Amino acid sequence: MVTAIGSAPVAFAAVGEKDHPDWPCVQRKVVTLTSTQIWDGPPTDDIKDWSNDAELAKLVPGLISRRVPLDEAKASIKALVEKLPQASRDETMKRLFAGVLSRINDERTSVISGVERFQRRQKTRADELERQSSEIVKLKELAKDDTSRKKLDEAEEKYKWDTRVFQERQQNIPLACEIPTLIEQRAFELGREIRTYMSK
């Protein structure tokens, strides 16, 4: 969709995938990450009761938080490992990764939904700008006196403002599209760190 008045064009082109028309990102939409995508350890996707371990339930939120430096997260994993008996280490590490992946997926799903909601709003704004553009063309044809010219001026000012808002928000989409990838990268780094403490 392209709307233009004079030299002020507004272009809206959705990158959306065929099966995900509201997905505006060049990155492929992957809603759920699986353990086999993230690490070479045993599958953990069926482990749902990891949070029954109070220590894991307390540890996981800090591990996945992007506000926590990765070095600190790795140190927390090491501190946990040092308290574990050798015999239970592999199982606990597997369950820890299950928790990390579960919460990572929750966060990514929330972000992806937010990006798609934003894209739908942008589509609505683009439609509104198209409508405003058509209305301004009509007003120009009718601008024969001061009253009609004032109405035209007001419509053009509103269009310019709405265009600016639209374009500024459109520029934010690539940044938002990077967030799921950053979350995925953290999952990979955490998985690799957890894996180093496992014997099999």
Local confidence pLDDT in tens for the 200 residues of the chain: 434 444 344 444 445 556 788 999 999 999 999 999 999 999 999 999 999 999 999 999 999 999 999 999 999 999 999 999 999 999 999 999 999 999 999 999 999 999 999 999 999 999 999 999 999 999 998 888 888 888 999 999 999 999 999 999 999 999 999 999 999 999 999 999 999 999 98
Instruction: Let me know: does 190 contact 100? Beta carbons within 8 Å.
Output: yes
- 67: how many CB neighbours lie within 10 A of its CB? 6
- Residue type, position 95, single letter: R
The DSSP H or E segment spanning 147 is helix 146-195
Instruction: Let me know: does 14 contact 91? Beta carbons within 8 Å.
Output: no
Task: Give phi and psi for 135, each to the nearest 5.
Answer: -65, -40
pLDDT of residue 3: 44
